[in-house]
Chain A
Amino acid sequence: MLQKPESGALPSPQAEGEKDGSRDGETQTLTASQKEVPSPFLQESPNEDLGARREEGATASSLTPKGARTLAAKALARRRAYRRLDRTVAELVQFLLVKDKKKSPITRSEMVKYVIGDLKDLFPEIIARAAEHLRYVFGFELKQFGRKHHTYILVNKHKPLEEEEEEVEEEDLGGDGPRLGLLIMILGLIYMKGNSARETQVWEMLRRLGVRPSKYHFLFGYPKRLIMEDFVQQRYLNYRQVPHTNPPECEFSWGPRSNLEISKMKVLGFVAKLHKKEPQHWPVQYREALADEADRARAKARAEASMRARARARARATDRAGIYPW
């Protein structure tokens, strides 16, 4: 879905020109990091290695048998290293897909601990290649949360379809339906209350629906845990203490993942349907939603333009490289 240009929380589409390997999970990073971080597997400098195989063929005949053997051994070691790298990238892709199902953001340290291990110096290259696979094969974008935090989520490039368009039920998300419905109700309340809602207001609304915080619910499990822990950890909701309140009160607001996966206009539409009215019935919220739609359209146009520019740059770069290391 579209990325809302939020201050500090997410990398803006303009950031992809930078050379920092861990910032942007797409292929441009890969070519940049290949130049800057010589892989420990390559004994020659990275730029030369691309031509090394051509060189090997040309010079082998002029070397002594011992020299030829050493070269062959090096080549074998290099191929083994590349295979190991391939496997690690594949494992990381699977790890990210499985982790993302839980919807909790994945940290760099988790990835290193469970998948990458002692290849962690190659993290930028590995994650860039994993991101490319995720994008090309599955249609997921690997996005980084916050520049310092090294936390990532997967965002689906394919939007789930509107009800009217389809006969295939894409919303059969294995039990996620009711929980997501609950989430949208809460997002709706937050939005209509001016983008934040007190915790008491949220529980009040849910009580009217027959949902109590600590009473086991056949659809939602334990609502308090679902809302205060799961939704907050998954970054669908923000939860913070309101300053200067006595007794201390807490409030909810939309989390960064909600901004990525759903829009104000959609949530307003849902609230409107619930009340059997039109979205325009709430002029303030409607205007805000319109402005949000315009922002998203602009961000999307920028992202597409930069994608095209990157594709052109990539095409130029691979023409120059000639031999593909994988």
Chain B
Amino acid sequence: MEEGRAERRRRTEAPSHTQGGPRRAGVMTDVHRRFLQLLMTHGVLEEWDVRRLQKHCYRVHDRTAAVEELEDFINNINSVLESLYIEIKKGATEDDGRPVYALVNLATTSVSKMASDFAENELDLFRKALELIIDSETGFASSTNILNLVDQLKGKKMRKKEAEQVLQKFVQNKWLIEKEGEFTLHSRAILEMEQYIRETYPDAVKICNICHSLLIQGQSCETCGIRMHLPCVAKYFQSNSEPRCPHCNDYWPHEIPVFDPEKEREAATSRATKRSLRSRQH
């Protein structure tokens, strides 16, 4: 009863522009606010984590309410965020197509979100790594090649040893992924910087032929050169015994990845239980 009254009071305090104004924006409650804050804190979250977060926010602020369908929940928040030129964007990991969510700028502002966490020379190191990744054929840039550019950085002089640690900081903060000494973009960076990348590197940028989004890792046709994300390949050639390039019809020369939805769900729940075990071991 107490909560209901408090909830209603909070809703009536909404500023006038969201109630009767020309744009029919949704209504923000503490459930949505906490959700937004936590999503901002984590930077990027996988879908199973987002659902857990949503349920957590309901549990904290509005136990009695039914948990809204995630898509509607997010659309509701996005309608309020519209006037701030930001939105919760959904993407997918490039290696296995897991859905991910991040809060992104709709107006291009380059690497601004990183600017608060990194010094000028560190940001420049990221830009150099980004260029190498975009120019590469595989979507990966080797640690050696990145470190060789250390002398060209703007700002304070950085030694290679320090640069190695900065690259690890990028990995920890979910801007880069490392695999066997090579670096590629984390899905967070792809979501947040897609527009910036398209505008800054219009010639070098690669696009997926199926979903038309930015492509960093993927497969390419050896005849005509079009590219596809691995999950897009998996979906497009699903149960097709003779995969052919959608553009030039030549035989598709690569192994078609298979993503098993059942295995994904198992993997997701095992990640969830591992996390809650960790938290109890204080």
Spell out A's residues near B (CB within 8 Å).
27, 86-87, 90-91, 93-94, 97-99, 101-102, 132-133, 136-139, 156-158, 161, 163, 165-170, 172-175, 307-308, 311, 314-315, 318, 324, 326
Contacts and interface: CB of A to CB of B under 8 A. Distances in A.
Given A132-B15, A161-B60, A93 B172 contact: no
Interface of B: 9, 12-18, 20-21, 28, 30, 33-34, 36-38, 40-43, 52-53, 56, 60, 80-81, 83-86, 105, 107, 109, 112-113, 115-117, 172-173, 275-276, 279, 282
A324 B173 contact: no
Contact of A172 (B17, B42, B85, B117): B42
B contact face: mostly helix, strand, loop, or mixed: helix
A99 B113 CA distance: 9
A139 B33 contact: yes
Contacts, number: 95
A87 B85 contact: yes
3 closest Cβ pairs, A-B complex: A139-B33, A168-B56, A318-B16
Given A27-B15, A167-B56, A311-B13, A138 B33 contact: yes
Q: Could you say which of A86, A167, A172, A314 has the most chain B C-beta atoms within 10 Å of its C-beta?
A: A167
A137 B81 contact: yes
B80 A137 contact: yes
A211 to B, nearest CB: 19
Contacts of A314: 16
Given A90-B84, A102-B117, A169-B275, 11 more contacts: A90-B85, A97-B40, A98-B112, A133-B83, A137-B84, A138-B36, A139-B34, A158-B30, A158-B37, A167-B56, A324-B16
Nearest to B55: A168
B36 A137 contact: yes
A48 B84 CA distance: 28
Given A168-B53, A324-B16, A101 B38 contact: no
A87 B109 CA distance: 13
Contacts of A173: 41
A166 B56 contact: yes
Contacts of A163: 279, 282
A54 to B, nearest CB: 15
B15 A138 contact: no
A308 B9 CA distance: 9
Contacts of B43: 174
A101 B117 contact: yes
Contacts of B30: 139, 158
A233 B13 CA distance: 34
Given A137-B80, A158-B34, A174 B28 contact: no
8 contacts: A90-B83, A98-B113, A136-B15, A168-B53, A170-B38, A175-B172, A311-B12, A324-B16
B34 A169 contact: no
Given A139-B34, A163-B282, A93 B84 contact: yes
Contacts of A326: 17, 21
A324 B85 contact: no
A309 to B, nearest CB: 12
Nearest to B40: A97
A174 B170 CA distance: 11
